[in-house]
């Protein structure tokens, strides 16, 4: 049995952790008072839980997909995902005085890309400065025993059906016994770009207070599964326009939101084909970590003519480093469709992977790398 670290223990059955009492300024804006409160309680819950969990149960634990993505989740839904080893958990905080049930939004249960192995029920008491882990369950149990409420699209489980001591999670993992953590769920049919644009126009209006309940779940779930559209929805609800325009970044500088994702404007030295002299070119760059090694993704324009030719390069960030065999650099359309010559694969160690594409003004692309980078979350780059 693990002993919870300070600050205190109120009862022997549950874990209590300290939370700061002052509601400090939010770094990210939200479109409604409800979303603002949701962002605050999820942030407080995460700040208290993650350090304890890393120290006591899984040192590899980290936010999923990454910290920069959290506001785009909390804008529309309650909960925070954490990955550890090969598993995922979702923290579900509540301010409710009664800890009689765990109520999980359907998004965390029925969107394949969002599904977790464990769901942690957390009661927050900001006035007294503590939070209580009053139980946890698995996806398998939530889907088979949980009660689905179509009114607010949640799965609920009574507290007596929860495992009250979170240390049991650590014990069962140490025993290494096979356990069915996830139930089978139905795949969501991808939506078309035109459908996504319609949803963005409609739900991007902050006057729509509960966008998650405004359209059928089959549409909403498939829409959220595309993280580029999820981020765009968040931006529209904040009144932020053109946050991912590559030409605009090159002209006026990288947007603040994109900087949080690691993008920066910088000058590259490029040797044009058939020429001996190198020429400087202004482009965009972001660091990417794959298997604890750092790489650089570069984007720059190859022409100033009416044909907009853009070059994507993946290089090692280590001087003299190379791209290992098996790595892939791939480009997809905004709605994740392939096209001719959209992928470059390293069959041996190479200095770089690259793709060149001709794009129409305003066209969007999604980049992917295999193996998937740490903290990867799809983004739609606009050209």
DSSP string, 165-191: -THHHHHHHHHT---------PPPPPP
The pLDDT of residue 3: 41
How much is the pLDDT for 170?
81
Q: State the pLDDT at residue 312.
A: 96
Range with the poorest average pLDDT among 90-99, 153-162, 275-284, 327-336:
275-284
Confidence band (pLDDT; 50, 70, 90) for 151? very high
Q: Calculate the alpha carbon distances from 270 to 23, 275, 287, 369 in Å.
A: 49, 10, 19, 23
In 3D, which of 260, 336, 326 has the Cα closest to residue 290?
Answer: 326
Nearest C-alpha neighbor of 105 from the set 40, 42, 181, 49 = 42
Q: Which long-range contacts (CB under 8 A, 24 or more apart) does 124-129 make?
A: 124/19, 124/41, 124/44, 124/45, 124/93, 124/94, 124/95, 126/19, 126/21, 126/23, 126/41, 126/44, 126/95, 127/21, 129/18, 129/19, 129/20, 129/21
pLDDT at 172 (0 to 100): 80
Residue 4 has pLDDT above 60, yes or no: no
Residues 6+ apart with CB under 8 A from 117: 87, 88, 89, 138, 139, 181, 182
Percent of the chain exceeding pLDDT 90 equals 70
User: Does the pLDDT value for residue 372 go beyond 90?
Assistant: yes
Q: What gap in Å lies between CA 286 and CA 144, rounded to an integer?
A: 43
How do residues 40-81 score in pLDDT, each as one tens digit?
999 999 999 999 999 988 999 999 999 999 999 999 999 999
The rounded distance, in Å, linking the Cα atoms of 214 and 208 is 8
Q: Mean pLDDT for the chain? A: 89
pTM score, whole prediction: 0.90
Answer whether residue 28 shows pLDDT above 50: yes
Report CA 202 to chain centroid distance, whole Å: 23
Token pair, residue 204, equals 């991007």
Q: What pLDDT score was predicted for residue 27?
A: 63
For residue 42, what is the enclosing H or E element? Answer: helix 33-56
Full strand arrangement of the beta sheet holding 147-149? 101-105, 154-158, 147-149
For residue 177, name the pLDDT band (cuts at 50, 70, 90). Answer: low
Residue 204: predicted pLDDT: 96
How confident is the model at residue 50, as a pLDDT? 96
| Sign of the torsion angle spanned by Cα atoms 265, 259, 227, 208 | negative
Task: Determine what percent of the chain is predicted with pLDDT higher than 70.
Answer: 91
């Amino acid at each position: 049995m693990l002993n919870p670290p300070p600050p205190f223990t109120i009862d022997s059955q549950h874990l209590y952790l300290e939370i700061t009492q002052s509601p400090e300024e939010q770094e990210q804006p939200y479109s409604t008072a409800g979303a603002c409160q949701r962002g605050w309680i999820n942030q407080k819950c995460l700040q208290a839980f993650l350090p304890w969990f890393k120290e006591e149960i899984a040192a590899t634990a980290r936010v999923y997909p990454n910290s920069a993505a959290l506001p785009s989740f909390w804008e529309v839904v309650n909960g925070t995902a954490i990955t550890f080893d090969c598993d995922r958990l979702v923290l579900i905080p509540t301010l409710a005085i009664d800890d009689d049930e765990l109520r999980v939004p359907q998004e965390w249960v029925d969107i394949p890309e969002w599904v977790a192995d464990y769901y942690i029920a957390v009661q927050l008491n900001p006035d007294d400065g503590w939070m209580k882990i009053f139980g946890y369950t698995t996806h398998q149990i939530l889907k088979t025993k949980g009660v689905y409420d179509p009114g607010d699209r949640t799965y609920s489980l009574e507290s007596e059906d929860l495992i009250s001591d979170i240390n049991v999670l650590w014990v069962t993992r140490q025993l290494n016994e096979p356990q069915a953590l996830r139930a089978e769920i139905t795949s969501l049919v991808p939506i078309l770009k035109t459908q996504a644009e319609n949803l963005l126009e409609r739900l991007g209006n902050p006057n729509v207070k509960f966008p998650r309940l405004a359209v059928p779940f089959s549409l909403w779930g498939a829409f959220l599964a595309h993280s580029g559209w999820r981020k765009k929805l968040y931006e529209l609800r904040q009144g932020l326009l053109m946050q991912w325009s590559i030409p605009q970044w090159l002209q006026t500088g990288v947007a603040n939101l994109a900087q949080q994702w690691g993008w920066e404007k910088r000058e590259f030295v490029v040797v044009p084909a058939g020429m001996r002299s190198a020429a400087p070119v202004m482009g965009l760059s972001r660091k990417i970590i794959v298997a604890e090694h750092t790489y650089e993704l570069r984007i720059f324009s190859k022409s100033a003519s009416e044909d907009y030719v853009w070059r994507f390069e993946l290089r090692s960030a280590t001087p003299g480093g190379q791209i290992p065999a098996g790595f892939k650099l791939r480009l997809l359309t905004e709605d994740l469709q392939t096209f001719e010559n959209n992928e470059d694969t390293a069959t041996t160690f190479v200095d770089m992977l690259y793709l060149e594409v001709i794009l129409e003004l305003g066209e969007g692309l999604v980049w992917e790398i295999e193996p998937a980078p740490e903290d990867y979350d799809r983004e739609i780059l606009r050209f």
